[in-house]
Structure 1
């Protein structure tokens, strides 16, 4: 894996100039109301879902809240040196709820200081889908057949819906956010609470995955844990998309 500085901005620096968090942990938010409704729509071929709010305002489901509690217990059980003392979070409701619940659980178990601040960063928000926002797969095929065909032709990595972002657009803002995290959180364990696409792009950036390997990964699971550890001037992957802590 390449040095982080090279990965982030295309220029190599000496290892002495690198600043890295000791541990970087990333998680996707807990199950949201939209996750439930879109899964049901995929199974039934429905054209609509009963959601009228902005994507940014969609909350967790009850199951998602329980997942966030389990994440907090996992946090509390980490070795003391690995327990995040800093949290960077997407400003969307489902991510801020996940961070708040997990932090309350970890604090209640005495693992992290009470009142630990959560830093909201818009660069960790979910991928914006423009005219395809809140449309089911069946609705996209019916209402925007030309866009559906263009999406299939270009591939998910490069396809940008009108008014929205490609997956690689998300990678650009993840790179930017990582630069600030590395500068401000050097030597400390950090937790990122984000979305499936942003967590996936975090791995793409840090591990420098080629397109086919990236597209072959399993979807990022709700409240999964992915961990990179600083070692020899690099952030090295240690765990990816693990959900064993949710079994209880």
Structure 2
């Protein structure tokens, strides 16, 4: 390849995902996560989803395989990359970058949407007024804050001039890579999140493109064919489209 390609992989299903789903189904205020956010691990299904990514990588032509991996420091994202490369049968240097970490939810961490409305009604009102993209919970980050991190990573990846880069990260992080590459506005990215949110272990492909106004072009978005081909269950982030809370876990 002559231009930089970024292959984005959302982590496989995590124990945090299933805990959030269970809490929402039970109508609870609090999510019973098994560990602090950086240490949340993949479920058995999440590991199978990561292995499916590896089988997809193994079938790529040699010149289209990633030569380096940039990963979030969070366990679920790092494990996804490690399992994928192990299954693919080749290795690549890892670069752990804290800018790829999941969004910091601040005081709303570990709370369901219902829990946020119950514990912090003023924050729920402020979130409703500001909108999901610009709302920053106390001690946490907005989507706009994460987008700023992502822009820096994309600039550094372009400067490194590696031909194919595998990025293993999180729902909102990968979505915002595409937001930057496509030059989307607030309404467009929120609509995509609502109607076509990234599935666990979904793939996106972004190419460096000097003819594009943003310098990038999204070639593929939210690919899950590798999971379906392997008969691996496709899962979505519970609560990702909720009007108050829940980005990734």
TM-score when scaled to structure 1?
0.86
Q: Which runs of 5+ in 2 are unaligned?
A: 231-249
Q: 1:21, 1:190 within 8 Å by CA — same for their partners in 2?
A: no
| Higher Cα Rg, which structure | 1
Give the distance between the partners of 1:125 and 1:40, measured in 2 at CA: 24
Instruction: Determine whether 1:117 maps to 2:99.
Output: no
**Residues 232/179 of structure 1: CA separation in 2 closer, same or farther (3 Å cut):** closer
Q: 1:130, 1:163 within 8 Å by CA — same for their partners in 2?
A: yes
Count residues in correspondence.
Answer: 222
The equivalences for 1:192-231 within 5 A come to 192-217=167-192, 218-231=196-209
| Aligned mate of 2:216, from 208, 226, 235 | 235
CA-based RMSD? 1.5
**Residues 104/93 of structure 1: CA separation in 2 closer, same or farther (3 Å cut):** same
TM-score when scaled to structure 2?
0.85
Q: Which runs of 5+ in 1 are unaligned?
A: 1-19
- The CA deviation string for residues 42-98 of structure 1, in whole angstroms up to 9 with x for no partner, is 222112222252101100010000000000001111232221111000000101110
Give the distance between the partners of 1:123 and 1:161, measured in 2 at CA: 18
SS of the residue corresponding to residue 50 of structure 1 reads coil
Match of 2:28 in 1: 46
Match of 1:180 in 2: 156
Q: 2:3, 2:209 within 8 Å by CA — same for their partners in 1?
A: no
Give the distance between the partners of 1:95 and 1:101, measured in 2 at CA: 10
SS of the residue corresponding to residue 216 of structure 1 reads helix
Deviation at 1:238?
Answer: 1.0
Match of 2:246 in 1: none
Give the distance between the partners of 2:173 and 2:32, measured in 1 at CA: 25
Give the distance between the partners of 2:110 and 2:116, measured in 1 at CA: 10
Deviation at 1:187?
Answer: 4.8
Give the distance between the partners of 1:72 and 1:82, measured in 2 at CA: 14
